[in-house]
Chain A
Amino acid sequence: MADPAQDAVGMPQLDFTTFPNQIFWLIVAMIALYLILSRVALPQISAVLADRRGAITNDIAAAEEAKQKAAAAEEAYHKALANARAEAGRIVDQARAEIQQELDVQMAKAEAEIAARSAESEKRIREIRESAMDMVAEVAKDTTREVLGVFDVKADARTVNAAVTARLKQGGTA
């Protein structure tokens, strides 16, 4: 180093005797670096980048799919809920209608029974009344006969009966 021949004279950059050496080693270095990069480094890195892009794309697609599934599930849930509500409403309506129908049937039945019973009662009342009238006529005829017998009035049965019946008819309507 102390050797003056090794000291720079002017610019070492312009020492043309070193040019072949520098150019040779530069070409060697560039070829080596080019081969390393183009054969190993760049394919490796571009593969990793492609993998990552693929992974990201896949993940985004999966997320999109999951989102759609969630939306579909929500829609299905809402649909099921609406269906259930409609079904519930329908069941309530049906039950109400059935009850109404049952009620109507029972009412009709009860009314019919009531009508039947009251008709029967009326009939019996009429019968009782009629039989009572008959008995009144009988009692009146017997009484008349007895009374006539007490007063020694001879009267045949037919005449008495006719008179009593006529009287009763008059009095019954009066």
Chain B
Amino acid sequence: MAENGIVIKPMDQFIVKPLFGGDMVSWYTPTNVTLWMALTVLAATAMMVYGSRGRAVVPTRAQSVAELTYSFIYKMVEDVAGRDAVRFFPYIMTVFLFVLFANLLGLIPFAFTTTSHIAVTAVLALTVFISVTALGFILHGTKFLKLFWVDSAPLPLRPVLALIEVISYFVRPVSHSIRLAGAMMAGHAVAKVFAGFAAALGAAFFLPILAVTALYALELLVAVIQAYVFTILTCVYLKDALHPAH
């Protein structure tokens, strides 16, 4: 690819770089990860705090957006995980807003998508997995293990089902994290590849540009849907911890 001077490097956008020069990325170095996570927190704060600062009974448009988001996630927690899950609502809201804004800000050209990194999504998913498992044992003790013992199945099948249930339980954080990171990474990489084609194709440049435009609309949808999926799966796992019976 280098011979015509145009090099497509679709994965360069995911490189973690120190913000203030240098090559060393130690655990505390301010990097592009720091910058884009800070912007994510700022954007979420802007929507949720600044938007609803008027506290109007008849909301403005910005306040309405904040309230609709609040009600949407609140209802999701209540419907999926049950009424007693409402005490975890602030954390679920945090996860949703973080993933949503990280995904959306990642769509800005030259942006760094924090949620395209498995390190980030794995920590988010493992936090959910570990706290949900711990919560299950704290609330129900060993009865939490009934989650894996399907009482409604015929007795000979139960050990087999239990094995399958245990495997699927431990696969949860993997699928939970890889789904999000994979979707983000793939979309951004493909967009970059198409953009590189636009530079390489010369006169036919408009074809990849059309493709990138269409892809971009799709990515916008994916960004929102992946945030939604990540949140609703968190609620589903939380439901298992609160109500382990099948």
The chain A residues found within 8 Å of chain B, CB to CB, are 5-8, 10-15, 17-30, 32-34, 36-38, 40-42, 44-49, 51-52, 55
Contacts and interface: CB of A to CB of B under 8 A. Distances in A.
Contacts of A32: 41
Given A18-B119, A19-B119, A24 B15 contact: no
Interface of B: 9, 11-12, 14-17, 23, 25-29, 31, 33-34, 37-38, 40-41, 44-45, 48-49, 52-53, 55-57, 59, 63, 66-67, 70-71, 89-91, 93-94, 97-98, 114, 116-120, 123-124, 181, 185
Contacts of B14: 8, 11-13
B15 A6 contact: yes
Contact of A33 (B15, B41, B118): B41
A93 B59 CA distance: 66
A135 to B, nearest CB: 119
Closest 10 CB pairs of A and B: A20-B27, A41-B48, A8-B11, A29-B37, A18-B16, A38-B90, A12-B14, A22-B119, A34-B94, A19-B119
Interface residues of A, dominant DSSP: helix
B41 to A, nearest CB: 5
Contacts of B124: 26, 30
Contacts of A41: 45, 48-49, 52, 66
A51 B52 contact: no
A55 B57 contact: yes
A67 to B, nearest CB: 23
A48 B55 contact: yes
A8 B44 CA distance: 30
B9 A7 contact: yes
Given A25-B37, A45-B66, A12 B31 contact: no
Contacts of A23: 27, 119-120, 123
Contacts of B34: 25
B43 to A, nearest CB: 10
A7 B17 CA distance: 11
Contact of A22 (B44, B57, B117): B117
Name which of A5, A36, A38 has the most chain B CB atoms within 10 A of its CB.
A36
Given A12-B14, A13-B14, A22-B33, A42 B90 contact: yes
Nearest to B90: A38
A6 B89 CA distance: 41
A10 to B, nearest CB: 8
